[in-house]
Structure 1
């Protein structure tokens, strides 16, 4: 008995360590994403940027992310998930190091584009790698590590940037050190990713069963579980013979692709990147420039992603998305009314408090729901053969709408009033709930192969995670056997 407990504990330690190293791509994502919020003023001082130039430098990360997402599917299929993570770590390290040397603005901007490219391939590959490597029972929680690492990265860079700027004061040295923080963590990811195992599903897809079994022996608790998973993967591959492009001829793939696209679209249109990138600027419009205004958003964003790791496998994906959309809707409307009050009178204590609390509650709602869950669902619902295509397209959509929000949020507020954009994002929260009800499935505790079988058999999209009273294994085999070529 004690030997079994010891072996089980060892297996879990290995699983968590592998997933943690894999999720470091999310940390670099967060460091680069959160870099702007509390460093833009320093960048403006060093490079003499106008408002438009600052907005362009902020948004170019997203345009690089789109290119990275476009190519990451090809990279992940032909190079493997592990090598793509190694590539991302290398790019993070090299480009952050060049940026820390404070090159001319053109080179600095090119480096940020390149960092966006690295973030793009990481935002595609990390959730995919974690969903394919983690055991089914903890797959949601482990995949949520990606979003948790993003929030930790945003928090770390906010704290270090504020501390560096406050302590040093010297703009050039401060900015160089701000980039240096990213170099340090990028090097950790790069070195750590060298020791990761390859995804067992990718190895099986390439016909390397012996290697896949070796990986599964490290990350599964029993031989019985390994045999069952190998059997399911084999059957899934057999049914989906041919290239991933062949999935484009299947109607069911287009249906689930639309679900993934709209899900990632809403993840950005609820307004998160406005809050992450421009919260200090927005609070400044209301006369709030203290340390709380600078650090409240990244701190809450990080702290409330921790519960999502537990809740996503306990409550389920869909319940969290409903809860998050409701909380974000209420807080966005409250923030809008706070700005309306400020517009008609001098910023008072009540309106400032309402605005700050609304922002904090909004971040809570996003951090434990749409932040991690949208990525997890997109990594789960696509068929094995079309997973790279599906993840590529949905990740590109996420970056496209992230760029749209980053490049236009402040301009929209100036043109239509500070309150306007909060009501727009609140409206998108309402639309997202309608979409959830009719099209998004619950995937908690269901194997990827079972979801795939239901999809191919024409089960309604919102019911893809249902087992219909049969054992999961029976349903998978029955579904796959009945799938039409």
Structure 2
């Protein structure tokens, strides 16, 4: 494939990945917003919890409808809906006068996040050539980490008075001087509008068009992306496989697909039970104990945000050369060792030296280059085309439910078994993840989505993937 055609695919991927950027930004920006909102409105504990979790409620709604939307309407239309929801949420949160209205718009933004968390990796996996599919889907995770970092940076900038110079328009003065938290939320309108405009220029997924029998339209898109002529494009396999009468959730419970469903459930579950939330929770304290001078907790979040983003680049570099299995196995093993050592540091009160910081950064490296991005890469590859959108929605729903459970469980663990025990608890799940991945996860690098589906269906007993 020529560099020009590769450039076109990369541009399409970057536009779609803006959905991941907005996902990360919207979820992380709340860290700077919450203290200001709590102070201004004197929120009770329950009100504070509802303000934070309102977006999560929207996420669950968004994921619940995303599978049906993407399988019925295509991949592009739900993404456009996502962009519209992001724009509306940013504007509403910035301008709506009362807190109830702001929370309602947070729910709208959460619905957008839920849809994006499913449809973006789905779309990228279907538009990407097999030989670089893992790398392109990992751009989504990279964009997510970049969104988190930008949210931390913009929060820190606004809180440190970057916007303090005289702003004549009363609306701008209100957003960036009087109620800075509104500016933090409202600034998300800029990437959201860019996302919306970019989506108007990218094509529909050709694989979805093939599933719907729109062969000529699919061939036209493939030709523009790859440079092939219409005669060179073979859609016979896709048509024969994807026009199967089976197109319901029942297909996932067929004997040939049960392992795929189990993998699709376990990977996002392990992602949340790896301990990433505990690490982020302890971030400011860990850095402080390690002797790093911090002016406030937002700076520590920026440091961890940079580390998370940089280490994700390694996954982009190696996911298509090393493959999914080796990267995941190395990552889970490294994460388990890092968490065990972190727990040992806490157990022996060795929290004032550089050793603890190294353990934490080692864990972040292992998570960001394997456990974090690969749940999206693998889940977007392993399900049959006719139900890929709905199946991936199940996988992403597990991620959000597990995220909620871990969020509630972590403070309990810290109180009941202490810091060391908490990190060892998460290390145990990383060990379980290593064993499960070793036993179950197939190698899918370099294979077309149609070939992966065929491998599941033609041989349920032999490990055809492990050749």
TM-score by length of 2: 0.89
Residue in 2 aligned with 1:340? 347
State how far apart, in whole Å, the 2-side matches of 1:266 and 1:225 are: 44
State how far apart, in whole Å, the 2-side matches of 1:455 and 1:382 are: 9
Residue in 2 aligned with 1:63? 57
Per the alignment, do residues 270 and 211 of structure 1 end up closer, same or farther by CA in structure 2, a change over 3 Å counting? same
SS in structure 2 of the partner of residue 314 of structure 1: coil
State how far apart, in whole Å, the 2-side matches of 1:146 and 1:69 are: 17
Structure 1, residues 16-42: CA drift from partner, whole Å, max 9, x if none? 111110111100111012223344333
**Within the alignment, does 1:306 sit opposite 2:313 as a pair?**
yes
State how far apart, in whole Å, the 1-side matches of 2:97 and 2:289 are: 32
Structure 1, residues 146-188: CA drift from partner, whole Å, max 9, x if none? 1010011011111111121122698853212211221211111
**Within the alignment, does 1:145 sit opposite 2:151 as a pair?**
no
Shift of 1:277: 6.1
**Within the alignment, does 1:233 sit opposite 2:227 as a pair?**
no
Alignment check: 8 A CA contact 2:291 2:352 kept? no
**Within the alignment, does 1:426 sit opposite 2:427 as a pair?**
yes
Deviates more, 1:40-49 or 1:434-443: 40-49
Alignment check: 8 A CA contact 1:55 1:407 kept? no
SS in structure 2 of the partner of residue 190 of structure 1: helix
State how far apart, in whole Å, the 2-side matches of 1:50 and 1:356 are: 34
Shift of 1:55: 4.3
Alignment check: 8 A CA contact 1:84 1:125 kept? yes
Alignment check: 8 A CA contact 1:165 1:171 kept? no
Shift of 1:59: 3.5
Per the alignment, do residues 109 and 357 of structure 1 end up closer, same or farther by CA in structure 2, a change over 3 Å counting? farther
Residue in 1 aligned with 2:260? 256
Structure 2 unmatched runs, 5+: 165-175
In structure 2, which of residues 265, 269, 279 is the aligned counterpart of residue 265 of structure 1? Answer: 269
Shift of 1:327: 1.9
**Within the alignment, does 1:396 sit opposite 2:397 as a pair?**
yes
Residue in 1 aligned with 2:183? 177
What RMSD, in angstroms, separates the aligned Cα atoms of the two structures?
Answer: 2.6
Matches within 5 A, 1:38-53: 38-50=32-44, 53=47
**How many residue pairs align between the two structures?**
452
Residue in 1 aligned with 2:465? 465
Structure 1 unmatched runs, 5+: 1-6, 469-485
Per the alignment, do residues 284 and 179 of structure 1 end up closer, same or farther by CA in structure 2, a change over 3 Å counting? farther
**Within the alignment, does 1:296 sit opposite 2:303 as a pair?**
yes
In structure 1, which of residues 95, 99, 102 is the aligned counterpart of residue 93 of structure 2? Answer: 99
State how far apart, in whole Å, the 1-side matches of 2:50 and 2:288 are: 20
Per the alignment, do residues 206 and 87 of structure 1 end up closer, same or farther by CA in structure 2, a change over 3 Å counting? same
Per the alignment, do residues 304 and 388 of structure 1 end up closer, same or farther by CA in structure 2, a change over 3 Å counting? same
**Within the alignment, does 1:127 sit opposite 2:132 as a pair?**
no
**Within the alignment, does 1:16 sit opposite 2:21 as a pair?**
no
Per the alignment, do residues 241 and 320 of structure 1 end up closer, same or farther by CA in structure 2, a change over 3 Å counting? same
Per the alignment, do residues 232 and 46 of structure 1 end up closer, same or farther by CA in structure 2, a change over 3 Å counting? farther
Alignment check: 8 A CA contact 1:91 1:115 kept? yes
TM-score by length of 1: 0.86
Residue in 2 aligned with 1:74? 68
Residue in 2 aligned with 1:244? 248
In structure 2, which of residues 101, 105, 108 is the aligned counterpart of residue 111 of structure 1? Answer: 105
Shift of 1:135: 1.1
State how far apart, in whole Å, the 1-side matches of 2:311 and 2:61 are: 30
Residue in 1 aligned with 2:333? 326
**Within the alignment, does 1:160 sit opposite 2:166 as a pair?**
no
State how far apart, in whole Å, the 2-side matches of 1:277 and 1:82 are: 36
Deviates more, 1:267-276 or 1:373-382: 267-276
